[in-house]
């Protein structure tokens, strides 16, 4: 195994009871698993504990206790004990007490996860969606656990009422409606019975990683401009490769090797066509003026360079000339919200007329490819980062060339760091919206 797999030292694992008593149980922790998910709003940690002392009864653990973690690994320190980076116990499972030992599982998360259950969005929000996101984080969740560079500015505005929804649910609801600044001009308002060409792309992700909260567009996470800068957070892209050999112990060169990999899914043309991923039509009805506006949308022509692969994204007619030159698009019917947030119905809330069509197509394309890899532990990786994966061609196990179809840049969708004695690994679920590598 690589040095990063075998190197691990628990410096601190302290539970602070609600009464203020602190107890370091680092010698009683068998394993720690840390999770991030770009489709989720909170990180989580699971720790397996066995001890001759009944920690649960001794500290009177009831939920909400602070936990401070400091681990030393080959790739750097994994630390959750300073400032806002403090975890809290929200659940204990598998509790089993015998005369020799007590075994249980600790489930940890951040304080904002608990705050989300105790607070609601109730007021009216107006202006750019990105400003509403920042307001909800600071005023409702009462957190400053984010960097300004991780809250990307949206191009569109939207006026809405919180309607007593939970903060995280509201933030993820807004993600679908958000238009990135690089997506081009906004669509014209639905104000007449004529044909319009819908432009740009929609779709943001709201998620938490080790840097805090993020609100980023799919465009910025996957554009070639960001790739040339290094990654979604301007750092150097890690390059991992798979050679099919057993990783040699204590060899530092192998710390960037892929131990194992498996593809979850790849091409599904039928599903793509059925879901309107390539083309769509939105018929918008204005209930105030009784006008219809028809919007046509083509995803491929609006992608430009905002994708991870270097091959062009093909539509059905490019794959097989037997398809008609015009694909029958998925048609959606919607009613505009003129008059709901403004006087006498003249104005609408600012919501993009075809945001659902745009975001649905963009999310579907990004989730087209799903790849799971297992690598030596790297605590510097986080969801939202881009990494480069290289795989050999399948040729009887003797290929010397890389497979340019499946190799290339991938976006980290899910992440799991596993820490235990002599077995410290990082599991990644990756996703990509296109194929090809230079």
Q: Which CATH architecture has domain 3-114?
A: Beta Barrel (2.40)
Question: pLDDT per residue over 56-75, tens digit each?
Answer: 999 999 999 999 999 998 88
pLDDT at 103: 94
How many Å apart are CA 74 and CA 57, to the nearest integer? Answer: 35
How many Å apart are CA 76 and CA 96, to the nearest integer? Answer: 34
pLDDT at 233: 47
Question: Which tokens in the block code for residue 8?
Answer: 């691990």
Helices first, then strands: H and E counts in the chain: 11, 23
Question: pLDDT per residue over 324-350, tens digit each?
Answer: 445 567 788 888 887 777 665 567 788
pLDDT at 234: 47
How many Å apart are CA 402 and CA 392, to the nearest integer? Answer: 4
pLDDT at 418: 95
Task: Give the N- to C-terminal CA distance of the chain in Å, as an integer.
Answer: 31
| CA neighbor of 315 nearest in space, from 276, 363, 357 | 276
Lowest mean pLDDT among 50-54, 164-168, 239-243, 249-253: 249-253
pLDDT at 227: 52
Evaluate if residue 2 carries a pLDDT over 70. Answer: no
Q: Is 92 exposed, middle or buried (0-12, 13-18, 19+ CB in 10 A)?
A: middle
| CA neighbor of 78 nearest in space, from 50, 49, 43, 113 | 43
Question: pLDDT per residue over 18-58, tens digit each?
Answer: 999 999 999 999 999 999 999 999 999 999 999 999 999 99
Verdict on whether the full-model pTM lies above 0.85: yes
Give the mean model confidence (pLDDT) for residues 375-402.
Answer: 84
Residue labelled with tokens 């410096």: 11
How many Å apart are CA 409 and CA 230, to the nearest integer? Answer: 11
Question: Residue 195: which pLDDT band, with cuts at 50, 70 and 90?
Answer: confident
Mean pLDDT of all residues belonging to the chain: 84
In this structure, how many other beta carbons lie within 10 angstroms of the beta carbon of residue 202?
Answer: 28
pLDDT at 230: 47
In this structure, how many other beta carbons lie within 10 angstroms of the beta carbon of residue 269?
Answer: 14
Evaluate if residue 319 carries a pLDDT over 60. Answer: no
How many Å apart are CA 93 and CA 46, to the nearest integer? Answer: 10
Give the mean model confidence (pLDDT) for residues 186-204.
Answer: 79
Question: pLDDT per residue over 101-147, tens digit each?
Answer: 999 999 999 999 999 999 999 999 999 999 999 999 999 999 999 98
Q: Where in the chain is the domain with CATH 2.40.10.10?
A: 3-114
Cα 22 versus chain centre, distance:
34
Question: Which tokens in the block code for residue 79?
Answer: 């630390």
pLDDT at 41: 92
How many Å apart are CA 330 and CA 159, to the nearest integer? Answer: 28
């Amino acid at each position: 195994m690589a040095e990063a797999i075998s190197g691990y030292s628990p410096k601190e694992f302290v539970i602070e009871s609600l009464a203020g008593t602190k107890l370091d149980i680092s010698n009683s922790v068998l394993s720690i698993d840390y999770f991030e998910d770009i489709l989720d709003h909170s990180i989580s940690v699971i720790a397996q504990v066995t001890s001759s002392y009944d920690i649960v009864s001794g500290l009177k653990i009831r939920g909400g206790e602070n936990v401070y973690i400091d681990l030393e690994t080959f790739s750097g320190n994994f630390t959750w004990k300073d400032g806002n980076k403090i975890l809290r116990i929200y659940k204990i499972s598998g509790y089993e007490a015998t005369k020799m030992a007590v075994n249980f599982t600790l489930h940890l998360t951040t304080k904002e996860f608990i705050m989300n259950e105790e607070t609601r969005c109730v007021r009216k929000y107006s202006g750019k969606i990105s400003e509403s996101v920042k307001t909800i984080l600071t005023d409702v969740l009462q957190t400053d656990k984010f960097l300004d560079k991780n809250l990307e500015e949206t191009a569109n505005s939207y006026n809405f009422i919180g309607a007593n929804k939970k903060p995280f649910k509201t933030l993820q609801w807004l993600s679908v409606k958000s238009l990135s600044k690089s997506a081009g001009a906004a669509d014209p308002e639905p104000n007449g019975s004529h044909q319009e060409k819908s432009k740009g792309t929609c779709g943001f992700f709201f998620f938490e990683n080790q840097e805090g909260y993020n609100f980023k567009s799919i465009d910025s996470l996957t554009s070639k401009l960001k790739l040339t800068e290094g990654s979604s957070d301007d750092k150097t892209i890690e390059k991992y490769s798979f050679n099919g050999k057993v990783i040699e112990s204590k060899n530092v060169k192998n710390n960037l090797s892929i131990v194992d990999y498996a593809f979850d899914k790849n091409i599904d043309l039928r599903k793509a066509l059925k879901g309107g991923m390539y083309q769509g039509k939105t018929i918008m009805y204005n209930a105030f003026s009784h006008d219809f506006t028809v919007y046509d949308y083509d995803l491929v022509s609006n992608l430009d360079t905002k994708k991870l692969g270097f091959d062009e994204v093909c539509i059905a007619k490019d794959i097989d000339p037997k398809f008609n030159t015009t694909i029958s698009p998925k048609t959606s019917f919607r009613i505009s919200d003129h008059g709901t947030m403004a006087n006498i119905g003249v104005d609408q809330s600012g919501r993009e007329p075809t945001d659902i069509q745009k975001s649905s197509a963009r999310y579907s394309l990004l989730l087209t490819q799903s790849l799971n890899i297992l690598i030596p532990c790297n605590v510097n990786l986080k969801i939202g980062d881009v990494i480069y994966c290289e795989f050999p061609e399948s040729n009887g196990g003797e290929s010397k060339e890389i497979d340019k179809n499946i190799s290339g840049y991938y976006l980290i969708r899910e992440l799991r760091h596993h820490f235990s004695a002599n077995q410290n690994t990082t599991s990644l679920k990756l996703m990509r919206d296109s194929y090809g590598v230079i």
